[in-house]
A = this chain, B = another copy of it.
Amino acid sequence: MSLSTTEFAVLGLLCAGERSGYDLKKVGEKGIGYVWPASKSQVYTVLPRLVEGGYATAREVRQERLPDKQVYRITNRGEEALRVWLEEPVDYHSPRSPFLLKIFFGSKMSREAFVAHIECKREAASSDLALFRGIEAEIEESDWSIFRHAPLRWGLAHERAWIRWCDQVLAEVRE
């Protein structure tokens, strides 16, 4: 029985301590959210499978006022499986980009639509950049390790590269 990437992502989050599905969904959004987004239902689907495979254990927690919940804890086996997976090489198949696909077929659309696409992408990149900068600022107070910093820095570099690219393309189209 092998685990999916999402399952390993959940195991990774469980390393920080006991969590419910609901917690994971929230914690997941900020943090690994922009690296490996997972839908709520996917998280709930995955958790019992981890228990089944012996990678985690579940425990019911009774609450007053609030609904009862299932809380999951990673097992030794889970930690070991995570470590092994983490240390395995990744394969870098280029991720699909519907955006670049449209640009590629840019000759089949109106000039206005093409420009609009680039402008829109530029704005999206700007706003993501601002978002990442916000996170960066927060981090500087609390001190984060390189493992959190590095992906964030990629985010920053990536969005900046997109902005430069958009500007170049816009300049060329307008001349």
**Residue positions of A touching B, CB distance < 8 A:** 5, 8-9, 12, 15, 31-32, 34-37, 79, 82-83, 86-87, 89-90, 92-110, 113, 116-117, 120-121, 124, 128, 145-148, 150-151, 153-154, 157-158, 161, 164-165, 168-169, 172-173
The residues of B that contact A9 with a CB separation of less than 8 Å are 101
B100–A154 CB distance below 8 A? yes
How many identical subunits does the complex contain?
A: 2
A157–B147 CB distance below 8 A? no
B103–A83 CB distance below 8 A? no
A99–B90 CB distance below 8 A? yes
The residues of B that contact A12 with a CB separation of less than 8 Å are 101, 104-105, 108
Given known contacts A36-B96, A89-B117, A96-B37, is B146 in contact with A105 (CB within 8 Å)? no
A95 to B15, CA, bound (A): 24
